[in-house]
Amino acid sequence: MPGKGKKLVAKGKSKGTLRVPSVPVRIAQPSGKSRVKSGEIPGFPVVGVGASAGGLDAFSALLRRIPVDARLAVVLVQHLSPKHKSHLPKLLENATTLPIRQAKDRMRIEPGHVYVIPPDARMSVIDGKLRVGRRPSDASQYTPLDHFLRSLADVYVERSIAVVLSGTASDGAAGVTAVKAAGGITFAQDPEEAKFDGMPRAAIATGAIDLVLPTARIAAELVRLSRHPFLLAERAAPEGRQTDATDEGAAAADPSVSYHEVFGALKKVMGVDFTHYKLPTISRRIQRRMVLRRTPDLAAYVRLLQSQRDEVEALYEDLLIHVTSFFREPEAFDVLKTRVFPKLLAAREADAPIRIWVPGCSSGEEVYSVAIALTELLDARGEIVPFQIFGTDVSQKMIDKARAAVYPTATTRDLDPGRLRRFFSEVDGGFRITKTIRERCVFSRQDLTRDPPFSRLDLVVCRNLLIYLGYPLQRKVMAVFHFGLRASGFLMLGRSETTAAHDGLFALYDKRFKIYEKKTGAFKAPLDLSGGDLKLAPPEARPSSSKSGPTGLREDSATNEMSRLLVDRYGPPGVLVDRDLRVVRTHGRTGRYLELPTGEAKLNLLQMVRPGLLFGVRAAVREAQKGGVRVRKEGLEVRADGDAFAVDVDVTPVGSGTARHLLVLFEEPSAAATSAPVSKSTGRRRGVMLTSPADTVKRLEAELIANREYLHTIIEDLETANEELQSANEEVLSSNEELQSSNEELETAREELQSSNEELSTVNEELQSRNEEMSRVNDDLLNVLANIRVAIVMVSSDLRIRRFTPAAEKMLNLIPTDVGRPIGHVKPNIDAPNLEATIVEVIRSVSPRELEVSDPEGNAYSVQIRPYRSLEGKIEGAVLTVVDVAALRVARECAEAIMGSVSEPVLLLDASLRVMHANPAFYEAFRTTRAETDGTFIYDLGNGQWDVADLRTLLQDVLPARKNFAGFVIEHAFPSIGRTRMVVDGRRIESSNAADGVILLIMREVAKVDDPS
């Protein structure tokens, strides 16, 4: 009955005390392990607390809030260095007044104490004592918290509490699952509070955590639980058969009647009826939810269920107990590979697949384990055999998890490394089953007790599911398994399960691992999939008291005794048979009319009747079954032990529907009506006198005619059945062809979808690359706009502001929220009345425009408007640049003044190497004028006298490569001044426009030299 608990974040404070109904509780112990030496579970909870990195602070915060009188024991499991002595106990003494002990082997756990794991050790619990051993040599297998919590759950069951605190990796995830499955309570530290959230998040991801809280609230909950009667009462270990909700013992305790209201709420919302599940397990789970939700009594909890659907779902998942793992009990899978699978392969018809069903599959580990085991066997034998495994469960959450086939690292830690490499692929957060195995496993939600089963199965693996079901459900499930299996099929149960509920359906094949073979000659068990209530008297219908007579006997007992005596003394012998004519009860001495056939013992009525009765009994049974009325056949002749006598047969239907039985009575005529029969050996008459030869002939002729009619009816029924089977076969063939066609279409669609997925993956990678490139370009643009000192505004084609530089905010009165607003809605700090119209004209004509504007203080500005071009050359808006004319004028005047005061010749070149400005020293040194110099290409100055090859190379490197040069010597014959030698320095100067720049050339040490000619 697998399922998974739902996380519940506790809120609010406790109000009042919890009054738990006194239900006779016997703890389920499927594993067969010893709990404690005395046979009882100690009456206090044990808290297993685990952490790794950041654990000291979390431990201290937790222990600081646990008082001395808290009746619980705390065991701290910390990841410690194996090579250093641990000072953890001393460090924790400052945080609590509870006695702290470092754990030692065979130390008994006592309430009110704190136990700390020693370094280089692995700890567990056996018989209420701590067992301390050496840690494994393989570091990858060292998960001390998982190891401890598993043993804690085995011993303390619902009194086990797990707490996972700060730490890395996933230790504790498997442990909290075991505690939750045993009925214990689980906590995880809030990942937002934990210094390292790896362990808490891994535990939460399992779905087995009840409460996710900060350490302070975890401590408060632990104190509350330590005083709760549910965790303090002494309870006996399990003995004998567990009862279900309809058993006498449970009904007599009265709370089981109230549980029917809980079952009704579950059935209404979730569609699953828990009425005939075993009550002790169900009641503990219900009480556990009551503890978590702080409800004072069962009635209050029923009201909570009726008002909150979430709590119904949480209880539902809690009742569906999860105990599963990969290759649980490896020896069982070895038996499957060595004994069961080979027989299935040998009995397989040609081209027929092996079909296996795993009901109650939980999260799918057992399904995939069976698939892996069968795949390994087929590969070892070199055979290619198709197989399909069906996994079903009543929990849709578990089915979704099984289909995803992704399992955390903690779940796969115990797998063989070879299997892990071969059948699993690593993904984020764990491992995933490979595609070849997943394709052979089909999962679906199914209620085993109500929904139709699978058919033509070779193997059913149903381990540890029946232990949660009551006897009526077990009997029903056995009939389902028997129906679904082939004649050569096998059934595998858990160690604590048997087929005793229907012992006539299966034969034991392997006693140790509870493997059964379907009996080929077994009677057909009635298969009831109606989903209705099982035919059992409800608890309230059973008599609780009766009056006593004068003698002390109760009246109902006396009445029953009288009826029994009358039937035994005066009632005729007879048998009660089911709809398949299988004898289920006998009454009186039936040996004169029935006998067991030789060979295999069978209880079929028609195979047991003595010679002479077969015709009459068969005809009477057939009429009674067909018409549903009482049928009587008189004067049938019976032969037994050499004697012959007459018998009347009376057949009466009992019950209705699928539960209809037949009561067959045998009555011998009275001696007054007949005389004694003739003994064939002595000739003397005994019992009933036989008829005359003429009457005998007539009777035989009547029997012959009736036999012919009966055979004719059987032939007609057989022909009708053959026609129906033929029609059904044609329909099946037609459906098979349609399914084959659909499969081919689905396969084609799957291939096309796979191709499309590959194409989409390629496109996605390209888009990802483009996005990264666009992100870089966008970052560059934002940095340029943020650092440029020029007021720039970009507008779209509908004149809405797209971007602007920080310098434009003050000048145009803009704020960041103006992005997306029309520029006409913004009132700038400059007077530009025709700004919108000018922008529209620029966009329409694709021609730049310039406006001269001013601010209220009279400062002049130049607004340059240029078209905004996309990479495809489309005009998608305009770019406005606002330049302070006065500032430019002042800057130019300052530059001219500075250059005029320099005694050395200076040239200022623009990006195209044209002279922007020269100082007076240049005009004087090279005997030229401003008109001949300004605006002239440098290589054209003085009839090309500055066209020097080395200087050209240097100038072409300055702007593009942002390189400066100094000390470049030029010796050249200038027509105006003769041969001159000078030292030239060149420097690039950034302009206000980041896209442009200017070059400053300074001529030093200008001197004439003698002409070598």
Between CA 335 and CA 346, with CA 341 as vertex, the angle to 5 degrees is 135
Chain position carrying tokens 């002042």 = 890
CA 8 to chain centre: 17
Does 84 qualify as catalytic in the annotation?
A: no
Does 79 qualify as catalytic in the annotation?
A: yes
- Cross-strand partners of 861: 853, 884
Q: Distance of CA 182 to CAs 6, 41, 221, 348, 813, Å?
A: 15, 13, 19, 40, 71
Catalytic residue among 52, 151, 226, 256: 52
- Strand ranges across the sheet with 107-108: 107-108, 129-134, 121-126
- Cross-strand partners of 300: none
Between CA 932 and CA 936, with CA 933 as vertex, the angle to 5 degrees is 100
Residue 984 CB contacts under 8 Å (≥ 6 apart), including other chains: 951, 965, 968, 969, 970, 1001, 1002, 1003, 1004
Convert 859-886 to b/e letters by CB count within 10 Å (16 or more is b).
Answer: ebbebbbebbeeeeeeeebbbbbbbbee
CA distance 664 to 651: 5
Catalytic residue among 171, 197, 393, 818: 171
CA dihedral 404, 410, 412, 416 (to 10 degrees): 170
CA distance 67 to 95: 11
Question: Which amino acid would we find at residue 84?
Answer: H
Q: What is the DSSP letter of 551?
A: T
Three-state secondary structure call for residue 819: coil
Which pair of structure tokens corresponds to residue 1010? Answer: 């003698």
Among 35, 52, 4, which residue's Cα sits nearest to residue 129?
A: 35
CA distance 460 to 491: 5
Which pair of structure tokens corresponds to residue 709? Answer: 């009619």
Q: Distance of CA 389 to CAs 2, 207, 338, 483, 494, Å?
A: 18, 26, 19, 17, 19
Does 444 qualify as catalytic in the annotation?
A: no
Angle of helix 279-293 versus helix 255-270 axis, rounded to 10: 80
* Residues 293 and 301 sit within 8 Å (Cβ to Cβ): yes
Q: Distance of CA 126 to CAs 109, 119, 120, 765, Å?
A: 10, 20, 20, 56
Please name the helix (run of DSSP H) or strand (run of DSSP E) that holds residue 116, with its range, or none. Answer: strand 114-116
- What are the DSSP calls for 28-56, one per residue? --TT-----TTSEE-SS-EEEEEEBTBHH
Catalytic residue among 79, 147, 228, 322: 79
Among 861, 865, 822, which residue's Cα sits nearest to residue 842?
A: 865
Q: Distance of CA 452 to CAs 49, 392, 399, 448, 527, Å?
A: 45, 12, 18, 8, 10
Among 433, 426, 397, 423, which residue's Cα sits nearest to residue 409?
A: 426
Q: Which residues are catalytic, by number?
A: 52, 79, 171
